[in-house]
Structure 1
């Protein structure tokens, strides 16, 4: 009997993976990987991170810190060394923690995947909330811990045509990704997608050298190798969760509009370790079982920003007191965002 039940769970997980591969790989993940690979390889990290220096006005440093996750394409693990680097080189704790919270939350893969699987309302809410909350968290951390003001002398700017070309390439790849959500007919979809792909290939050869294209493909392949196995494991266990976890338990703890639902969702996500994108199928499975969309947003915000291993590393870099303050602010911010989304959007 036990063996039959385990086999049933295994088949449920396998079916979840099969459905995922059929529905989401060709028109969702493959373009998203190329998009993220282009961003990671063709945008210069140094040209972004230089805005965290002491010579940058705060309104610039906070803005760049809040949105640079899209340009740097970092995940919850790769953001930590970048955060440690800018923090130890003298970046203020405000912009540094703004970057720490926002960067993995607005990873372009994560936003696109959230919108595709959980709905465009949650995808947009995740992006907007991550940017706004990151700035608020950074300002609060600066207010508490920055003891003296610094003199700022101006900023450096992006330069060269390479960055403008990369923006155009970004828009082409984004169009390839979004068009299937607008056009449902395979005939009309092919008439639009094929020219878009052809234009992307043409401009890739026109704008970039062979070395840059090679770097783009290598970065894309690196993301595929790093993320896909973990993502499939996440989808597999999400399928098992649907079978294993009673729906009434999910509804009881994270299905309502009570404060406890949002608190449990935020704390649980903060303690769990989500590899890049794996939070989406797991949260999708919980929503199928009855989790509210407000608590789902709380999990989407707290999950990428924190995990138990991340908490240890963050506290080591910043110090225990600052680390605990940051962790508390993230959980609280995720809760408040979920509550606002649950009450005023739905």
Structure 2
């Protein structure tokens, strides 16, 4: 391997990091970190466990986890601080895994964009199958790893009704900051709206919470940034190199039909690549023009937004290598089977 080619690959990795930072950090990842920090510090553990804990009714926890991602325009990396905040507050591995898969896979913008570009049949299939599969993944993770833990009363902060309402209002404001850039495309109007939302959030945060609570929030946010960001940047760097090394013409050749192997190649290729929010749609659209099958397209739409190299590195740190390996394997296998079944259905 020549030094010129190595320099080319290094430049590709650097470009990948630069593109990631330009597209995500200011308008998407930073609000996600603050939202995750708020979840971890200002929301009581009981309020999280009410919907996501292992003792919560399954039909409630998995339903909430599966559909809560619909409003979040997040990718496989941006969802990580949100997942870390939920998981750290005691959410069961099952519902937490369901949320981790569903949030990037079924956000409203991605579903609408998929239907518009790739066809309404594929858009509808992505939405319905992603919701169902997120629950299957969560139940599988719970069956394999869930262990009932004794409730620890000591040190758990509880809120009264007012505190719950304030936390809910803060969550709505932070969520608005997170999704507004995906809704408004006009740069000047977006700047005005974002500035107003940030001022309103800062005002009510100071009004609703004590200095100690705000300090805890900022501390938790900074902890998540330190834990996740370096791993994300390293993963994005190597993902950029992998995209350059992977011969595109071979990928198109291998995923042109609808076999288990073609769907598996599509799923595993998507899992190794990094798709920022919505970018998977034009990439898959280009591949379909070159002859990619409908089944492999769905397999990529399911596995790509849910997994990426940086995503896999970080979730290994958050939930441990063993749980992460099972989660990743489940996503790839289920995406493969779903893509194959869909391709057979429409044939």
Q: TM-score, length-normalised on structure 1? A: 0.64
1:22-101 alignment to 2 at 5 Å? Answer: 22-49=22-49, 52=53, 57-63=57-63, 73-75=82-84, 79=87, 98-99=94-95, 101=97
Deviation of 1:191 after TM superposition, in Å, equals: 2.2
In the alignment, is the contact (CA less than 8 A) between 1:266 and 1:302 conserved in 2?
no
1:260-299 alignment to 2 at 5 Å? Answer: 260-266=261-267, 279-280=274-275, 287=283, 290=287, 293-299=297-303
In the alignment, is the contact (CA less than 8 A) between 2:173 and 2:197 conserved in 1?
yes
In the alignment, is the contact (CA less than 8 A) between 2:13 and 2:236 conserved in 1?
yes
Q: Which moved more, 1:128-137 or 1:159-168?
A: 128-137
Matching of residue 237 in structure 1 with residue 246 in structure 2 = no
Q: How far apart are the structure 2 equivalents of 1:327 and 1:118?
A: 22
SS of the equivalent of 1:73 reads helix
Q: How far apart are the structure 2 equivalents of 1:298 and 1:82?
A: 27
Q: How far apart are the structure 1 equivalents of 2:35 and 2:5?
A: 41
In the alignment, is the contact (CA less than 8 A) between 1:253 and 1:261 conserved in 2?
yes
Deviation of 1:308 after TM superposition, in Å, equals: 9.2
Q: Which moved more, 1:128-137 or 1:184-193?
A: 128-137
1:208-253 Cα deviation digits (max 9, x unpaired): 1112211211121122112221222222122212321110122233
1:53-92 Cα deviation digits (max 9, x unpaired): 66x555335445657899993349x959958xxxxxxxxx
1:116-171 Cα deviation digits (max 9, x unpaired): 99996499988875553343456689999xxxxxxxxxxxxx96232322222222
Aligned counterpart, 1:89: none
Aligned counterpart in structure 1 of residue 322 of structure 2, from 313, 316, 326:
313
Q: How far apart are the structure 2 equivalents of 1:314 and 1:236?
A: 24
In the alignment, is the contact (CA less than 8 A) between 1:66 and 1:135 conserved in 2?
yes
In the alignment, is the contact (CA less than 8 A) between 1:297 and 1:338 conserved in 2?
no
In the alignment, is the contact (CA less than 8 A) between 1:118 and 1:284 conserved in 2?
no
Q: How far apart are the structure 2 equivalents of 1:129 and 1:231?
A: 28
Matching of residue 105 in structure 1 with residue 101 in structure 2 = yes
Aligned counterpart, 1:190: 191
Aligned counterpart, 1:161: 162
Deviation of 1:174 after TM superposition, in Å, equals: 2.1
Q: Relative to 1, partners in 2 of residues 1:167 and 1:188: Cα closer, same or farther, differing over 3 Å?
A: same
- Is there any run of 5+ residues in structure 1 with no aligned partner, and where? 84-95, 145-157, 273-277, 316-322
Deviation of 1:198 after TM superposition, in Å, equals: 0.6
Q: Relative to 1, partners in 2 of residues 1:265 and 1:167: Cα closer, same or farther, differing over 3 Å?
A: farther
Aligned counterpart, 1:335: 336
SS of the equivalent of 2:185 reads coil
* Number of residue-to-residue matches in the alignment: 302
Aligned counterpart, 2:15: 15
Aligned counterpart, 1:226: 227
SS of the equivalent of 2:83 reads coil
- Is there any run of 5+ residues in structure 2 with no aligned partner, and where? 70-78, 116-122, 145-158
Q: RMSD in angstroms over aligned alpha carbons?
A: 5.0
SS of the equivalent of 1:184 reads coil
Aligned counterpart, 1:152: none
